[in-house]
Structure 1
Amino acid sequence: MPGAKADTASHLQRGPATGGWNWPATLAARGAAPLAPQHLRRRPQPPSSQRLHCFVLDCSGSMAAGGALARAKGVLLALMEQAYRRRERVALLSFAGTRVELRLPPRKAAAWNDDWVNAIGAGGGTPLGPAIAQAAQLLARGGGEGWLWLLTDGRARDWPARPAEAAQLRVVDFEQGRLRLGRAQALARAWGADCLRAEDWS
């Protein structure tokens, strides 16, 4: 029936800024009746301006070898450009040796050039645990929907637990060479996160 199809479409598209299905609200609206399109409810989605992307950049010695860090900086700039176009907020942490540095406190994304990332050096170990802990603190204080992006080759000794403060997690894998250990992919699996390859930005 044409009328029934139009009614279904109108309910499926309810609200321009919505998230996934809100099943508790849907079942409450249904009551004891059979499930019908008019019962469907969606979760509200925060405005994009409330989203905070926290980028965590691995600057360890293994990332410096073979140009992985240079590629990671390029990907970082591309991601920040996307955030700028969507009027979202960004933050940047870098980690290497025994230090974690807050390179960019949470703020609205701006138009970037590569001058400021060129100065980020590399060398030493991979203090991944402290870096993720600091990122979790930034996301907890940031409000809105927190996204954590880890740009790394995965060659860290410690595997921190999945940060509960991150609504979304992305691991970008920069491991290169013939012998690949797949640690970034394994970490993403342990976190239940998406793992993207550096080659995806080529």
Structure 2
Amino acid sequence: MPIGRGGHRWLAPRQVPRSVAPRGDSTGTRIHWPRTLAAKRQAPLSIEHVRHRRVDARAGVLHCVALDCSGSMAHGEPLALAKGVLLRVLERAYQSRADAALVCFAAGRAEVRLPPSRARLWNEDWIRPIGGGGGTPLALGVARADQLLARSARRRPAQQRWLWLLTDGRSSELPPRPAWADHVVIVDVERHAMPLGRCRRIAEAWGAAYRDAGDAGDVADLVS
């Protein structure tokens, strides 16, 4: 298992064969997650379930961030860490001329704070007022982000879609993997005295990338 900066371990996405474009060609294939998940149904994911779709690198990238703003995040360090990661993802998205979106979830609600649009340079004055409180509607937040990605896919089907889940994982819910995300990154901001380690379990269940929020460089380097 690779070691990230600061000695933290991280999980690579589950290894599923995927063809890539040859050098000099802007097209290739990606996993078509809605069809793949429909094919596997309740069975464990295996190679025969995998479906692919053609993509064009010129179609661009959308980075959708789902930010946990629940009460467990608001006490102490987790929400501040998550905001730092959010700022870095938006900065990198701006530098790569990608699109960005933000969904915040807490207290039984999931709200689109930033609809998909070309990423701009954001500063802490915009991010700092984002507050937290209440329970952790993890399934609702993930579903809201997936709805946003689905609408984006209908408008720009060739665009690559990333979902970034910034959370401490302190929820008993384990929602299904977002079907419309080509890539998923779980950023773990849990800093409680008795950690539960649920972010890593979510990443393993989804076949997603896992990052600890302390590895800021590793997180930002994923943004394409």
TM-score, L = length of structure 1: 0.78
Q: Is the 8 A contact 1:49 1:89 kept in 2?
A: no
Q: Is the 8 A contact 1:126 1:157 kept in 2?
A: no
Cα distance in 2, alignment partners of residues 201 and 95 from structure 1:
22
Q: Is the 8 A contact 2:26 2:58 kept in 1?
A: no
Cα distance in 2, alignment partners of residues 130 and 178 from structure 1:
27
Cα distance in 1, alignment partners of residues 205 and 62 from structure 2:
23
Residue 173 of structure 1: aligned partner? 188
Match of 1:55 among 58, 65, 77: 65
Cα distance in 2, alignment partners of residues 145 and 100 from structure 1:
23
**Once the two structures are superposed, what CA deviation does each residue of 1:55-77 show, in whole Å capped at 9, x if it has no partner?**
00001111112221011101100
Cα distance in 2, alignment partners of residues 100 and 117 from structure 1:
17
Query: AA paired with 1:125?
Result: G
Cα distance in 2, alignment partners of residues 135 and 178 from structure 1:
30
SS in 2 for 1:199: coil
Cα distance in 2, alignment partners of residues 60 and 120 from structure 1:
11
Residue 145 of structure 1: aligned partner? 160
Residue 14 of structure 1: aligned partner? 23
**Residues 171 and 140 (structure 1 numbering): CA distance in 2 closer, same or farther, change over 3 Å?**
same
Q: Is the 8 A contact 2:72 2:170 kept in 1?
A: yes
Query: AA paired with 1:66?
Result: G
Residue 115 of structure 1: aligned partner? 125
Cα distance in 1, alignment partners of residues 172 and 23 from structure 2:
47
Q: Is the 8 A contact 1:49 1:86 kept in 2?
A: no
How many positions carry a matched residue from both structures? 170
Residue 174 of structure 2: aligned partner? 159
1:182, distance to aligned residue in structure 2 (A): 0.6
Q: Is the 8 A contact 2:77 2:191 kept in 1?
A: no
Q: Is the 8 A contact 2:105 2:141 kept in 1?
A: yes
The structure with the largest alpha-carbon Rg is: 1
1:178, distance to aligned residue in structure 2 (A): 3.9
Higher relative contact order (CA 8 A, sep 6+): 2
Aligned counterparts, 1:1-202, within 5 A:
14-19=23-28, 45-47=55-57, 50-143=60-153, 144-201=159-216
1:46, distance to aligned residue in structure 2 (A): 2.8
SS in 2 for 1:54: strand
Structure 1 unmatched runs, 5+ = 1-11, 22-42
Cα distance in 2, alignment partners of residues 155 and 110 from structure 1:
31
Cα distance in 2, alignment partners of residues 20 and 166 from structure 1:
14
1:172, distance to aligned residue in structure 2 (A): 0.1
1:115, distance to aligned residue in structure 2 (A): 1.0
Q: Is the 8 A contact 1:54 1:149 kept in 2?
A: yes
Cα distance in 2, alignment partners of residues 67 and 159 from structure 1:
24
Cα distance in 2, alignment partners of residues 64 and 48 from structure 1:
39
**Once the two structures are superposed, what CA deviation does each residue of 1:109-164 show, in whole Å capped at 9, x if it has no partner?**
01111111111110110001111111111111113211110000000121110111
Identity of paired residues, percent? Answer: 51
